[in-house]
Amino acid sequence: MITYRCDGCGKELEQHALRYTVEIEVKAAYDKMQVGLLDLVRDHRAEMLRLIERLKHRDPKEIEESVYKRIHLDLCPNCQRAFNKNPLRFHPEQGLPAGEVDIDSFLRSIGVVQGPDEEESPER
């Protein structure tokens, strides 16, 4: 049985429970390169060797993450609301103000999402 844990609040998400996924790509951004005459006559081999020497003692994972990192999060409905409100300063406790509609309960009530107690029986 596949179960998930909310990456926001740590709550275990039951099988078939409504959950959200967040995919984040953090990439180094570069401007378009313009090649001038000075770039053509530079000693590129020496520059590459200096760069390799500088990077030789650094953690390869740290170097990789300084260019590209992919983040995957599973969120419960409460944390999804908190994330949508403020993705950069996301805290699970910001999720469900009193009186707000609980989408998970609503979807269950109309049968879109199956609850754990409504699972199909294993016999055939």
Query: Residues interacting with Zn ion, by CB under 5 A?
Result: 6, 8-9, 76, 79
Q: Which residue's CB is nearer to Zn ion, number 9 or number 103?
A: 9
CB 70, min distance to Zn ion, A: 21
- Asked if residue 51 lies in contact with residue 94, where contact means CB atoms within 8 angstroms, the answer is no
CB of 46 to Zn ion, least distance (A): 52
Residues 6+ apart with CB under 8 A from 10: none
Q: Where are the alpha helices (DSSP H) in the chain?
A: 37-41, 44-55, 60-65, 77-85, 103-109
Nearer to Zn ion by Cβ, of 28 and 88: the residue is 88
Cβ 75 to Zn ion shortest distance, Å: 6
